[in-house]
Amino acid sequence: MTVNASGRRRNARQPRRGLVIVVAVITFGGVTLVWQASHAIFVGATSTGVNTIAAATVPNATGLTSSRPCTAIAPTARAVSSTAGPTSYVDVPTPATQAGDLLLAVVVATDRSDPITAMDSGWTAVGGQVTSAPDNLAAVFWRIATASPPANYGFSWNDVSDRGAAVLASYSGVDTIAPIAAISNAKGTSSTSVAAPAQNPARSPTRLVVATTVNSTAVLTGPAGMTAHGDIVATNSEARLSTWDELRASPGSTGTRTTTWIGNNDYITFSIIIQGPASGTSDPTVTLNWTPPTNTWVTDYDVLRGAPTIRVAGRVTSTWTDTGTTASSGYTYTLKSIAGSWASSGISVNVAACP
């Protein structure tokens, strides 16, 4: 025997569906259920003599949409170290780094014309050996960091009577095959400023690095808008080396970048473009948005993306952000309205993997 919402008995072999428009108080086997029947369709049935009741219409939210930034990976400055060498070499401490980072070294030797060389394997020289005749020599090197780098990296030249200095910086989010997209230099004598050459990267985002050295201890004022990183004076006070960098969110010309100082000095400057991976994105989030139902019995929402289910509180809540995504993966999200122990059928949205 089945008891329907009106309290009438009817044949259990002929179950009947009816939309109840009032708040009903229904008792089955000593259990009382109170429900706003205008939002639930009750179905009477019998199963081995036990009466059951089910709801079919807890209302879904509507207009479920998703947004995913899929932002290209940008080269990011992680750490920097610097040192001044005692004689014919510099031994610069390794800055904080992780496997796959770019290590970028700028080295200056005083009163030199013979090459600066890396004392450790794995370094690539870029930009040539640049002299500010008749004084200093500068060179740039890069390598990709390993999981267990040494405590220091060394760079040397031939004459034991000469001094030097070096700045070593680490950058994450780089193209590990070709991290240096471009490098140019300018050099000269007896000036109070120098303009690092413009670069014109074809892809974005990139990071512009400017490194300038002069043959004195004069304080260097870097290009406007750039962040200062390394600054070091050689132990014989015959060279100062400073570096700056800047994120470039869009492709196109960087324009020249000017370093200034007080006093007439010989100078060398480099402009360097560090590029991110040719493909891949940084994707920390997927954001869902929806329109809440007008039904006042809805108190929460469940978001399902596999396990576990996430409970989002508040009937009028209309957004939620997933911070545990992977850029190369696509996802399906299902949103269910919750009213007590009841749930709606749910609505879903598919989110594609980042390109």
* pLDDT per residue as tens digits for the range 59-111: 999 999 999 988 889 999 999 999 998 888 999 999 999 999 999 999 999 87
What is the mean pLDDT of the segment spanning 30-59? 40
**Of 257, 275, 293, which one is at a domain's C-terminal end?**
275
Q: How many domains does the chain have?
A: 3
Question: Cβ neighbours of residue 85 under 8 Å, at least 6 residues apart?
Answer: 91, 163, 164, 165, 166, 234, 235
User: Does a structural domain hold residue 57?
Assistant: no
Same domain? For 161 and 27 the reply is no
What is the per-residue pLDDT for 327? Answer: 86
- 45, pLDDT greater than 80: no
Same domain? For 175 and 213 the reply is yes
Same domain? For 199 and 299 the reply is no
**Secondary structure of 70-119 in HEC code, one letter for each residue:** CEECCCEEEEEEEEEECCCEEEEECCCCCCCCEEEEEEEECCCCCCCEEC
Q: Residue 300 burial (CB < 10 Å; 0-12/13-18/19+)?
A: middle
What is the per-residue pLDDT for 113? Answer: 67
User: What single-letter DSSP state applies at residue 221?
Assistant: B
What is the per-residue pLDDT for 3? Answer: 37
User: Does a structural domain hold residue 124?
Assistant: yes
The pLDDT tens digits for 125-180 are: 999 888 877 779 999 999 999 999 999 999 999 887 789 999 999 999 999 999 99
Residues 36-52, buried b or exposed e (16+ Cβ, 10 A)?
ebebbebbbeeeeeebe
Same domain? For 153 and 233 the reply is yes
What is the mean pLDDT of the segment spanning 103-123? 91
What is the mean pLDDT of the segment spanning 49-62? 60
Same domain? For 118 and 248 the reply is yes
Same domain? For 80 and 42 the reply is no
Same domain? For 84 and 178 the reply is yes
Model pTM score: 0.70
What is the per-residue pLDDT for 38? Answer: 36
Same domain? For 111 and 233 the reply is yes
Same domain? For 104 and 17 the reply is no
**Rounded CA gap, 183 and 185, in Å?**
7
Q: Where are the beta strands (DSSP E) in 99-205?
A: 102-109, 117-118, 124-131, 137-144, 152-156, 164-172, 180-196
CB 70 within 8 Å of CB 135: no
**Of 219, 244, 275, which one is at a domain's C-terminal end?**
275
**Of 275, 296, 320, which one is at a domain's C-terminal end?**
275
Same domain? For 246 and 194 the reply is yes
What is the mean pLDDT of the segment spanning 43-47? 31
% of the chain with per-residue pLDDT over 90: 67
User: Does a structural domain hold residue 163?
Assistant: yes
SS3 37: helix
Same domain? For 248 and 303 the reply is no
User: Does a structural domain hold residue 7?
Assistant: yes
What is the per-residue pLDDT for 307? Answer: 76
Domain limits at 19? 2-52
User: Does a structural domain hold residue 219?
Assistant: yes
Same domain? For 143 and 249 the reply is yes
**Rounded CA gap, 225 and 46, in Å?**
77
**Rounded CA gap, 256 and 13, in Å?**
87
